[in-house]
Amino acid sequence: MKLEEKIMKLRKEKGLSQEEFGETIGVSRQAVSKWENGEAKPDISKVKTICEKYSLSYEYLLDDEIEETVVKQDEEKEEKQAKEANLNEEKDSKVGPSKKERKAWKKILKVLIIIFLIYLLIVFYKVIMYIKIIVVANSFNEENYEICQTLKTINVENQISEVNTRMFKYNDMIVLKGHLNTYNTSEGKIINDYPNVVIYINTATNDSYEMQWQEDHYNCKRLDKINIYDPSQIVKEYVPDNPLYILLMAIDPTRVVLPNGTMFNFSSTNMDVVTLNGVGLIESYVGKDIYGGISINRYSYNYTEWMYEDNYKNPMEEYKDLIVYE
């Protein structure tokens, strides 16, 4: 195949007009026409340009004996490139993960690092909040106070038990009175005229008594040791003043604490919400166990001194006609 035939074949295989082909190598349409008609031959610089532009060998273009087609050359070139790519991939796979895999792992690692840093910030925030709650609780300095507590429990049979506890401290005397009321959808409400439990402590005389209501009288017995909590100690039931426990609460993802001191626990065994009032004392506790039972615990506080002075009596005197000593 002669040079002019090879140029014409090349142009047609590429789908180019004589003018378009001439533009790719920097000659006019007339020059291309003369080459294809055999009236003229391209100079050596144009032959070099054609070979470089269309990936041809000089031997193929200038030797009339070589019949190799452009398509065949392109196919061989693509096959060679594909083989080289496969060899590179095999080489990379033997050494380790491919570049694509390494990029994917880097992205995953970045995401994990960001998530971990966010988690550390949350833990730090929770530690600060728990410490703040403890500090506020420890700042409680009322000498005399009254705490009213209402504990309501609802079990899976819809039976409701309600305990109303009133505890006050006045000077050396601490008195706790507890009423228990039980509701049932079929039986109604059981009403008690007197407190079910009365605890009396006098720190000046070291007298401690517990009275339990029995039908028409109180069984009274002396107590050797009893702990009566002040409002700050009630807070510490929910956030114990223990660095290790505070840290465990902070790293526990099921526990959440809000800026106002409200604490949530979303564990599978016991879900609860603890709310603090404006001065950082426990206001309410609502919990739900795995059996569906609900516990509602509400607190209110009073620090008005005249209430203790005018309205409360020593229960040992108040119920003296109903007391049976053990």
Provide CB contacts within 8 A for 272, sequence distance 6+: 264, 265, 285, 286, 287, 288
Per-position b or e across 89-112, b if 16+ CB within 10 A of its CB = eeeeeeeeeeeeeeeeeeeeeeee
Query: For 53-62, 104-113, 174-183, which range has the lowest pLDDT when averaged over its residues?
Result: 53-62
Q: Is the pLDDT of residue 64 over 80?
A: no
Helix (H, G, I), strand (E, B) or coil at 243: helix
Rounded mean pLDDT of the chain? 82
Bigger pLDDT: 265 or 91? Answer: 265
Q: How many alpha carbons lie under 13 Å from residue 119 in its C-beta half-sphere?
A: 10
**42-46, 93-97, 142-146, 258-262: which has the highest mean pLDDT?**
258-262
- Rounded to a whole number of angstroms, the distance between the first and last alpha carbons of the chain is 130
What is the amino acid identity at position 307? M
* Residue 236: pLDDT band with limits 50, 70, 90: confident
What's CA 62's distance to the chain center, in Å?
A: 74
Phi, psi dihedrals of residue 252, rounded to the nearest 5°: -75, 115
Q: Which residues pair with 222 in a beta bridge?
A: 209
Query: Angle at CA 285, nearest 5°, toward 279 and 287?
Result: 160
Contact 250, 130 (CB under 8 A): yes
Q: Which domains does the chain have, with CATH numbers?
A: 3-84 (1.10.260.40), 145-325 (2.50.20)
Phi, psi dihedrals of residue 236, rounded to the nearest 5°: -75, -10
Contact 276, 299 (CB under 8 A): no
Q: Which residues pair with 276 in a beta bridge?
A: 282
* Residue 19: pLDDT band with limits 50, 70, 90: confident
Per-residue pLDDT reduced to its tens digit, 83-115: 777 776 666 555 556 778 888 899 999 999 999
Q: Is the pLDDT of residue 182 over 60?
A: yes
Q: Average the pLDDT over 146-168 and give the result.
A: 83
Select from 188, 179, 197 the least CA-distant residue to 159.
Answer: 188
Helix (H, G, I), strand (E, B) or coil at 218: strand
Tokens coding 279: 């001065």
Distance CA 225, CA 315 (A): 19
Q: Is the pLDDT of residue 65 over 50?
A: yes
pTM: 0.60
Query: For 156-165, 194-203, 208-217, which range has the lowest pLDDT when averaged over its residues?
Result: 156-165
The helix or strand, by DSSP H or E, that contains position 164, with its residue range, turns out to be: strand 160-170
What is the amino acid identity at position 230? D
Select from 288, 272, 297, 296 the least CA-distant residue to 156.
Answer: 288
Tokens coding 49: 């340009």
Residue 165 CA: distances (Å) to CA of 145, 168, 209: 14, 10, 17
Per-position b or e across 278-317, b if 16+ CB within 10 A of its CB = eebbbbbbebeeeeeeebbbebebeeeeeebeeebeebbe
What single string gives the DSSP state of each residue in 101-162? HHHHHHHHHHHHHHHHHHHHHHHHHHHHHHHHHHHHHHT---SSEEEEEEEEEE-TT--EEE
